[in-house]
Amino acid sequence: MKKIRRTLLIFLLLLLAGGGFYFSHRKGNTTPISAQEIHLNTLVTVTLYGTDRTELLDGAFALCDHYEKLFSRTLPESEIYRLNHGEISEVSPETSELIQIGLSYGELSEGAFDISIEPVSSLWDFTSGNAVIPDEKELAEAVALVDYRKVHVNGNTVTFDTPGMGLDLGAIAKGYIADRIKEYLKKEGVEHALINLGGNVLCLGDKPEGTAFRIGVQKPFGESTETLTICPIEDQSLVSSGTYERFFQKDGRLYHHILNPKTGYPYDNGLTAVTIRSDDSLTGDALSTTVFALGEEKGLELLNRLDGVEGFVVREDLSIHKSENF
């Protein structure tokens, strides 16, 4: 695994890849220690305050390794890959748990969010730069295989009603892993930490001086240092999903990675981003995609009904429209 290791590093507006957040750190009572590695095809950064135990950074990244071998759609030895290819039906309790959570968001969104999108998502490539649109017939055949209601979990056994179905946990895996890292650090006695999995930001406590972490949300399609707004968080999570994260353009049209399970093509609903603030990162991860999929009206209605979460949508004109309690 490629490693980018920088310990005893003071952060000042450290730009991070993925969901477009950067962090403004001020020196507290002790110098923070930090490290970065590449996991799940994204830059993972963990910053600890008030401790010099660098082995805790190693432990955090070991968790990333562990869960990547469970949840990755593309890693041949992962449980999800083997499940999708018919090699296994029995999975670990962690994988079973995450699948069930993913299916619950399918119910919540009435299928707008669907983790059985793998037959469709595997046809798209937003990272190579080739800008290839899948064949229309092949895409239609893949769409016919997408239906979260045809995925069944019985204990740790996962079955599909139709051969060729598959799961893609990419919209929720990073949030789940961030939460597990936070649990680990808290158990080890860490009181102040900042975790970022490709833009899934989660903090443990507040900053050592007693103030909130101020998280800058990147301006969609702007320069990497341009902020749309700044959100304070204390012992909370901030997650954004947007069309600017992974995309390509062809024939004057933008194609992005948030795919409509009903059509197989990217959602085209006038939104360019959604940001969710919540107590845990898994909730923020799932809801940022769910709200985007539902669109502005239904998405904000959902946020207004849920307890303990808040957020805002960003239209293509970059105007911000917030939930009632944000």
pLDDT of residue 198: 85
pLDDT, tens digit, 9 for 90 and up, residues 125-137: 998 889 999 999 9
| pLDDT above 90: residue 199 | no
Q: What is the overall mean pLDDT for the chain?
A: 91
**Measured CA distances, 161 to 78, 120, 125, 153, 187 (Å):** 22, 17, 27, 11, 41
Is 285 annotated as contributing to ligand binding? yes
Least confident stretch, 17-21, 81-85, 146-150, 251-255: 17-21
Q: What tokens were used for 44?
A: 């993972």
pLDDT band, very low/low/confident/very high, at 30 (cuts 50, 70, 90): low
CATH number of residue 83's parent domain? 1.10.3980.10
In single-letter form, the type of residue at position 191 comes to E
- Residues of the domain holding 190: 3-54+174-322
144 and 271 share one domain: no
27 and 76 share one domain: no
Q: Which helix (DSSP H) or strand (DSSP E) does residue 119 occupy?
A: helix 118-121
| pLDDT above 70: residue 16 | no
313 and 236 share one domain: yes
Confirm if 55 and 62 have CB atoms less than 8 A apart.
no
Distance in angstroms (rounded) separating the CA atoms of residues 240 and 200: 7
Last residue of a domain, one of 126, 160, 194: 160
Is 157 annotated as contributing to ligand binding? no
Residues 6+ apart with CB under 8 A from 273: 217, 220, 228, 240, 241, 242, 243, 244, 292, 313, 314
37 and 85 share one domain: no
| pLDDT above 50: residue 155 | yes
Average pLDDT over residues 5-11: 34
Average pLDDT over residues 317-322: 97
Last residue of a domain, one of 160, 184, 208: 160
- Specify the number of domains making up the chain: 2
Is 173 annotated as contributing to ligand binding? no
